[in-house]
Structure 1
Amino acid sequence: MKSLLIAAGCMFLSATAVKAQDKCLREFRNKYKGSAEVHTVSLGKFALKLGSLCLSFDNEDVDAKVMGHALKGIQKVKVYTISNTKGGTVSYDDIADLKSNLQRNENFDLLMEARENGSRVHILNKGKDDELGNVVMLVQEENEFVIVNLHTTLKIADINHLIRQFASN
């Protein structure tokens, strides 16, 4: 009975941690809801498994096989887009605040930052050991801001295999 209670408590705490991360991203999205065009797209495990299954039918395309294998490790994808056709965009300060909140409050680590021609990409990760875990990508362009939130069971080796496959083409 003790082990059942401990297991139930651990599951509750892990679900609470994921909800807190989603709440942080939802609050950021809601901040711009009245002043910009805001959309959210969410794909669950079933849709991703179906996509993986469709990619596995093509036995000749090695890229499709590798991508299908990677899709099996993704549990959930949520994409938030904030676009403003009037020329305004999400401020750099707000993005910096979101990034620091994810790092400070949600214990995300910064994996990568890139800039090119006014576009900025920040990739943050919250995983254990060699598992990728939860990944948040913040992509800012001139008139659009995109947040991609991935819940995965992918290992770093899976990502390296995917990179090597696409680099070889």
Structure 2
Amino acid sequence: MSKKIKLYHYTRAEIQSIEQKGILIRTIEQTRRDFMEQYKSKLSSQAIEHFTSSWGHECEDFNIDAQHSVWFVSKRPEENCMGVFYLVSMYGGEVISMIGEGNEDSKRFLESIGEPLEVVCSIPEDDPSLVRYGNTECRLQRAVMPSEIIEINKLSCNPAKSEWKY
């Protein structure tokens, strides 16, 4: 049996979805389509216009490997680490939240949905899909199964103060 390592994933998401489905990998297009299908009726017309026009004008410089991976750290960061703050303060991962940050209506909406979460996973150390970078950062080039999730911890997050806590 392969030795397991504990990895930490930070996100703002719906806890029930992660409990039921694990951490999924979707394309940019799938993520955005699903977001609009689920939330379009709750967005202001200005926010819808901001998202759709921004998506239509962005450059295609997303790293393909990065898109098809779940990112982790192997060591729990200190509270208020800004790298984690960005991940837990707005819903949708980078393909949604990076665009939302440029518009106050969009940003407020993304800060209001989902919950800031720490997802602790147990992954085989020799998993061929695990890529390590020599620091604490690593990525898994596959989805995380619900059975690989050890715990899901709710975090507190105050976007107005750029703070988050365990």
User: TM-score, with normalisation over the residues of structure 1?
Assistant: 0.24
Higher helix share: 1
Structure with the greater relative contact order (CA < 8 A, sep ≥ 6): 1 or 2? 2
Which has the higher Rg, Structure 1 or Structure 2?
A: 1
